[in-house]
Structures are given as C-alpha cells and as structure tokens.
Chains A and B, each alone.
Chain A
Amino acid sequence: MALGLLLAAPVAEAQAPAPPPRRPAAQAPLPPPPPAPPALPAAARPPLVAELSQAQVAITTGFSGTEVLVFGATERLLGAGGDDVLVIAQGPAQPMVVRRKVRVLGLWLNGASARFWRVPGYYLLAGTRPLAEVLSEEERAAKRIGLEALPLEAAGNQQSEFREALMELKQAAGLWGEAGSMHIAGARLFRASLPLPATVPTGDYLVQVLLVREGRVVARQELGFRVGRVGTAARIANVAKVQPVVYGLLCILLAALAGWLGSVLFRRG
C-alpha cells in the first residue's frame, strides 16, 4: 500500500509539469491504492469542477424563499495572486416596461416608457474578489459579465435613465445583485450561495462558473437548476392555465361555499 502511494506520487508529478507541487498525502484515500491514471495529457485534467446543491427548487404552498449552493474546486490555488472564480446565476428572461412618473396638474402619472424585451428575472454574481478587480472593463463588456454589461435592448425611449432605474428597482427587490458571498476553503474549494427570495420567478436558471486567470476567462462550466411549483401550488396554477373556465367556476363555487359555511357556523355560535 505504501509502495503504491510512493509510486503514484512521482508519476503524477511527471505528468503535470506546470502546476504547483501537489500534496498527495492530504488527499489520497488510504484503503485501496488509487490506480494511477494512465498517461493522461495535462490539458484533460479539469482546471475547474463545480456542482449545485440541488437541481430543483420546489415552490410549495409554504415557500418563503430559499438558497441554492454552488460549490466546487479548482486545480490551482485561489485567492490573492492566484486564480479567481466567478459564479453567475441568471433566471428566465421576461419582457418588462419601465415608466417614468411625471407631475401633471399636481398629480403623478405615468409618462414616457421604455420597453425591455429580455430582462432576466434573477441575476446574481458572486466572486472570490469584487468583479472590477477580477476582470477589466473591456473583458466584462466582451463576455457580458456583470449587471452593467447585461444585454438589455430597449424599445421606445433609449435614455440610459430607464436602464439605471431598472437596475436600482431590481436590486432593491433582492432579485439582482453583484456582490454575492463566496467562501473559500483550503485555497482550492469554493462555495457560493444564491439567495432566492419568495418572489423568485419560476423557470430554468443558468449558473455559469468561470475560472479567471490574469484577467482572462480560462475555463467555464455551465450548470442549471429549475424553479418550479410543486404539490397543491403547482396543481392550482396548472388548472388556472389549462382550464380557465373550470378554474373560474371552481373559484366561484369555493367562495360561495366558504360564505355559506361561515353563515351556518356563526348562526349556531
């Protein structure tokens, strides 16, 4: 057993000349000797691995917000002077209208508006360091990373104020953010939490995990999870969508029944 470990370690060293020295003793499981990977090229070793804590976020009738964890490991060291990891979670896009309020004769009314066709319902970015320190402005714009670089094409009014208002209001609602928390353990393991408020839109979410080295994205992994209603909540929403007439009649009956029940109960009481 000891012999196997001694043999495996130098082989690994020889295969990957570029990365910093590895410490096999810390990771090697003791009982069965791991068979040395036969002649894998250096490029095939993943520089980044990431996974989500869950693939499905279930919205039940008691749902009041939750948290999805993104965790993973890098091949090289993370932190100051080393690599950086960025986690970007994006929710399904929705069309939105931003209206400016104007004062006419003392009353506030909706004035000019801008229409945004594809507004992500959720956007959260978490990084080992603040985004501006990790990537340059050109790189952020080219890769469309960060709130400022979101591709929000507006129809109608093109003034930037509408875009800024959209940013502000979405951030105030806790649906958009650029300063998600990222926890690093042992300079190689990272863990980011994506807080999902109760108002989180349903649909498919895309989570991109980017490995950044010297201001360049060198590796990326795409993960996804689905936010969906389950149980009673799902059944109600489904009937309302598929059979609106039946649902409407059911609502009328249920409401009338509740009213009648109440009057029966309280007459005796």
Chain B
Amino acid sequence: MQVYLPIAEMSVDALLLLGIGFGVGWLSGLFGVGGGFLLTPLLILIGIPAPVAVASGANQTLGASVSGLIAQWRRGNVDPRMGGVLLVGGFIGSGLGVQLFAWLRRLGQVDLAVSIFYVVILGSVGALMVRESVRAILRRRRQGGPARLHAHFWMHGLPFKLRFRKSRLYISVIPPLLVGLAIGVLSAIMGVGGGFMLVPAMIYLLGMPTAVVIGTSLFQVVFVAANVTLLQAVQTGSVDIVLTLLLLIGGVAGAQFGASMGTRLRGEETRALLGLLVLGVALSLLWGLVVTPDSQFAVGPMPL
C-alpha cells in the first residue's frame, strides 16, 4: 500500500514503514535506546531524503521513547533527579551542536563528517560495550559473587554532591552535566536521541545500575528528541508527520514487546546484545564509505 509523504514529496510502501517502526520500537523497549541511530540510516537506505530522515527520525524517537518511558516508569526504573541534571546538560549541548553542524555545513563536508561521526562513535561505543559485558558474564560464571557497585576514581572527589536515591549514588552534579552536554552535542550532529551513547556513559562513567539506566535514559531522550523536533521543524522544515506516525504505529507495538522482554534478560546480556547491534551498524556504515559507489557522481538539491 503506497502512501504519499507530504514533506518528503514522495510515496513509499506503508507496510515497509510499519515494519521498520516495529523493529526499531522493539529494540527501543528492549535496550532503552530511542533507536534513532538505526532508524535514520534505514530511512536513508529506502530513499527518504537525508534531512527528512534525520528530522522525522528524531520525532519518531520521541514517540517511541514516550511509550518505553511509561512502561519503565511503571516499573519504577526512572531516576527523575538524575534525568533532570542530564537534561540541563543536554539542552546546552544540543544548542552548541547545532552551531557546530552549521559550521560543518559551511565547510561543505557535512555528509562525510556525519558518516565518520557515526562510524567512530558507534564503533567505539559498541566495541567497549561488548568487551565489558563479555568480561562481566565471564566473571559471573567464574565467581558467582556480586561485584562492587562501581569503581571509585578522581571523578568522585568533585564538589556539588547530590544524592540520587534511585540510582543509589552520592556524586557531584558535574559529571552528569558533562555527560548530558556531550550527548547533546553528538545528538544534534548525528540527528539521533543519543540513548545508545547515554546508556554506556551512565553505566561506565556514572556507575548507575543497569535497571535504572534504561528508564532514565529514555527520560532524557524524550526531551532531547522533542527539542530536536522543534528545532528541525523551524530551521529546516523537514519533519514529516505522516512518516513519523506510520513509524510510530509499528514502533509503539514493538516497544511494549521489547520492554517486557528486556525484564527477562540479565543486564550483561542486554548490554552485550546492544553492543553487538551498535557495532553492526558502525561496520555497515563503514562499508558504505569504503565500497565503490555505483555512480561516480551524486546529485542533490542546492544547500541553502
């Protein structure tokens, strides 16, 4: 069934979009990531113009994350205080990221910069996650005893300490603010919610327990994605609500299945799977940069 997308100015198969939405929504519920890092490349792959794919991807991420967030909130897996601190950093960061994006655009290499960002960030995050979770699984098999909650290092000596009860942490607000800021910058450039980077950052940098990490990252992603949607609608006018809603219909169904499945998986296993997925996307994007293209030329609209 063909459906015409009014902003993308093209028609696509509605069933294909529903399927993509379901798959990405399922991952979103399972891992607590918005799925933008998968959705945007997939949409570009099926021929949606890149600006529309980025903007509508952010909008779909928002909806899918709301659905996941409600599911996690009911299970008491959200730390609102930590989410709020991350969000303050996130808004500042996405403001800076938009400036950086405009600067890259003036240099004329924004496509390449975005691809390289994707490959480097997804590649290193994925590799780190797989390595760490495989180690954790091996350690658990050998010893069977509980490990320490998190390692202590210089970061924990910083001032402005705040108690995050849900996360069972008493740490300075500076590290979460910086994490939020960095994720905000990257998410503005890559056009994603940033959950796939936030999840490992919260686990490895802040030392939060995996159960709370997923709900809290969804909390942050919802608001960052809302901010990106509004900015894109005003600045580039490339948010396609028909595309978004089709993706969401599949997405909300998928997210619920994912969330209930996620509670049955162990933290290490969830992280290993997410790591493998992220790594896979990075490798396929790298392949796209390396493989000889069909045509030596590309035609595109004139950048404004």
| Chain A contacts to B: CB under 8 angstroms | 59-65, 94-101, 106-110, 113, 115, 161-162, 165-166, 168-170, 198-199, 201-202, 229, 232-234, 236-237, 240-241, 244-245, 247-252, 254-256, 258-263, 265-267
* Chain A residues with CB under 8 A of B69: 259
Are A237 and B241 within 8 A (Cβ)?
Answer: no
A244 x B237 contact (CB < 8 A): yes
A95 to B299, alpha carbons, bound, how many Å?
11
- Taking CB atoms, residues of chain B closer than 8 Å to A62 are 2-4
A92 vs chain B, min Cβ distance (A): 12
Q: How far is the CA of A94 from the CA of B229 in the complex (A)?
A: 27
Whether, in the assembled complex, B88 has its beta carbon less than 8 Å from a beta carbon of chain A, the answer is no
Asked if A240 and B7 make an inter-chain contact with CB atoms under 8 angstroms apart, the answer reads: yes
B244: which A residues are within 8 A, CB to CB? 251, 254-255
Mask of B280-304 contacts with A, CB within 8 angstroms, 1/0 = 0000000001111101111111110
Q: Taking A94-B301, A169-B295, A199-B9 as contacts, is the C-beta distance between A259 and B70 under 8 angstroms?
A: yes
Q: Which residue of A lies closest to B65 (CB)?
A: A259
Which of the four size classes fits the interface of chain B?
A: 35 or more
B252 and A61 within 8 A (CB): no
Contact A250 B67, beta carbon cutoff 8 Å: no
Minimum Cβ distance to chain A for residue B232 (Å): 8
B10 touches A263 (CB 8 A): no
Q: How far is the CA of A259 from the CA of B298 in the complex (A)?
A: 37
**Per-residue A-contact encoding for B1-27, CB less than 8 Å = 1, 0 else:** 011101101110000000000000000
**B-side binding surface: helix, strand, loop or mixed?**
helix
Which residues in A have their C-beta under 8 angstroms from that of B256? 262-263, 266-267
Q: Chain B's nearest CB lies how many Å from the CB of A97?
A: 5
A140 to chain B, nearest CB (A): 24
Asked if A245 and B7 sit within 8 Å, CB to CB, the answer is no
- Identify the interface centre among A202, A250, A266, A267: most chain B CB within 10 Å of its CB: A266
Enumerate chain B residues within 8 angstroms of A106, measured Cβ to Cβ: 290
